[in-house]
Amino acid sequence: MVELTIEGIDEVMTSLQGKMKRLRNLRPVWRSLLAWLRQVTIDQFATAGGRSRDRWQPLSPVYGARKSRVWPGKPILRASDRLFQSLTGSNQDSIVEIEARSFTWGTATPYARYHQRGTARIPQRKILVVTKADRRQIIALVRAHLANQGQVSGYGV
């Protein structure tokens, strides 16, 4: 009689479950993505939309004159910096939710949607724009994280 006995399968399964759990936890990549998105938004504001090749329309002459008096030197969409800070830092309007398998980022600033979409009276000035290059960068960030976690877990990814 020939027998094969395999022992320690419980330990192997426990080890594999721990490695799979690490691969499913995307919190580290979401934190990297948050930093990247904040920088992209800083660039979008600094270039008045030029980063996404959709430059913001100038202010109307009437509002531009008023803004120059009330908020001298402040660029478009930066009068109080409430919107800018909500997306590039942290304030009462910042939305940041990082979970193991999901990530939400944005702003609760009430007037943001009017600038993002435009209205009959407010020209569209896109604040959040994801270009094709941005999509590739986001995918690269996620792939790099998964590959790193796979290597840390002992998989040749």
Q: DSSP letters along 104-127, please?
A: EEEE--TTHHHHHH--SSS----S
Between 156 and 117, where is the model more confident? Answer: 117
**Predicted pLDDT at 98:** 93
Domain boundaries, the chain: 27-152
Q: Which regions of the chain does DSSP assign to beta strands (E)? A: 94-98, 103-107
Q: Does the predicted model carry a pTM greater than 0.85?
A: no
Q: Which two tokens stand for residue 133?
A: 């290059």
pLDDT, tens only, 77-136: 999 999 999 999 999 999 999 998 888 999 999 999 999 999 999 999 999 988 999 999
